[in-house]
Amino acid sequence: MPAVLTNKTAATEFILMVFSTNQNMYILHSVLFAFMYLWALIGNVLIITIITFDQHLHIPMYFLLKNLSLLDLCLISTTVPKSTVNSLTHNKSISFPGCVTQVFLVVFSAMAEMFLLTVMSFDRYAAVCHPLHYEVIMNMDTCVQMAAVSWLGGGLISVMHTAGTFSLSFCGSNEVHQFFCDIPKLLAISCSESLIREIVPILISVVLCVCSFIFITVSYIYIFSTVQKIPTTEGQSKAYSTCLPHLVVVVLFLSTGFTAYLKPTSGSTSIFDLVISMFYTVIPPTLNPIIYSLRNKALKMALGMLMEGKLIKK
């Protein structure tokens, strides 16, 4: 039964949704989420460690990849551990401060990652389309500044969303029909008559995401146009193998995020909403280590050196 508050009582906690009330599904959900989190944790920590200790990887592309792994860790650690513990303990509640923290960190990680993916597309554009001037265009100072702007931009937008969402009143049902505190689902259960305080930040975020998507799309149009002019098939394959995975991550991340935030808000339970939210909060941090490391010879060589203990000694 939904937990209902009186009209004069503000919410002190929220009730999160589980994927199923079936005991076997509880276990399956816990095992699946635990496995995905462990994989994301190991993969992203390895990438951060390798890039930190291997001096040969202290170049813009890997610096941006290191930042992406840090944001991935933040994004998946904000949602999956809490959901897994709730499934194992059959306790679906989350405190009000815990919900505020989740909203802030999810929005911060997602928006900063979107900005960073935009910077990474520019990095690939400079590398493929202007290889002779790459070191001038993407020097480390410029790269650090772009990464800093990505983190700062994510933080500012997150503050706007968090302040806008929790300035609303929650005095009806406190059931959030999502496995984490998600803004659209919080708006659906708010008893405030006007949602303008949060609708405006959402529109600002949508405009920024659309601009980023257009910038990324244009960058890849130039990239693929340049790749087609490469005389050798081997050269084309190498360029495609570097750029296509990044494009797949961007499309998956932005398309599911748009779907989650632009579809009409609803207070009802939907397995579609759960799956969509997984595709922008859980799947990217899990897939990114595979996409960016297993297909990268430099990272695989550095991993081998790390396993042999040679990397730390250097």
The pLDDT tens digits for 69-109 are: 999 999 999 999 998 888 888 788 899 999 999 999 999 99
Q: pLDDT-based confidence at 161, cuts 50/70/90?
A: very high
- Identify the residue with better confidence: 178 or 1: 178
In this model, does residue 260 exceed pLDDT 70? Answer: yes
**Ramachandran bin of 102, using left for φ above 0, alpha for ψ from -120 to 50, beta for the remaining angles:** alpha
> What Cα–Cα distance (Å) separates residue 175 from each residue in 9, 13, 18, 151, 234?
15, 9, 11, 31, 54
Q: Which whole number is the average pLDDT over 208-223?
A: 91
- Identify the residue with better confidence: 50 or 173: 50
250 closest CA partner among 280, 276, 229, 274: 280
pLDDT value of position 6: 44
pLDDT value of position 149: 96
Q: Which backbone phi and psi does 95 adopt, to 5 degrees? A: -65, 160
Residues 306, 195: Cα–Cα separation, whole Å: 52
CATH fold of 13-313, please? Rhopdopsin 7-helix transmembrane proteins (1.20.1070)
Q: Reduced to 3 DSSP states, what percent helix, strand and coil does the chain have, rounded to the nearest 5?
A: 75, 5, 20
pLDDT value of position 170: 82
Residues 57, 227: Cα–Cα separation, whole Å: 24
Residues 65, 62: Cα–Cα separation, whole Å: 5
Q: Where are the domains of the chain?
A: 13-313
Q: What is the percent of the chain where pLDDT is above 90?
A: 32
The pTM assigned to this predicted structure is: 0.87
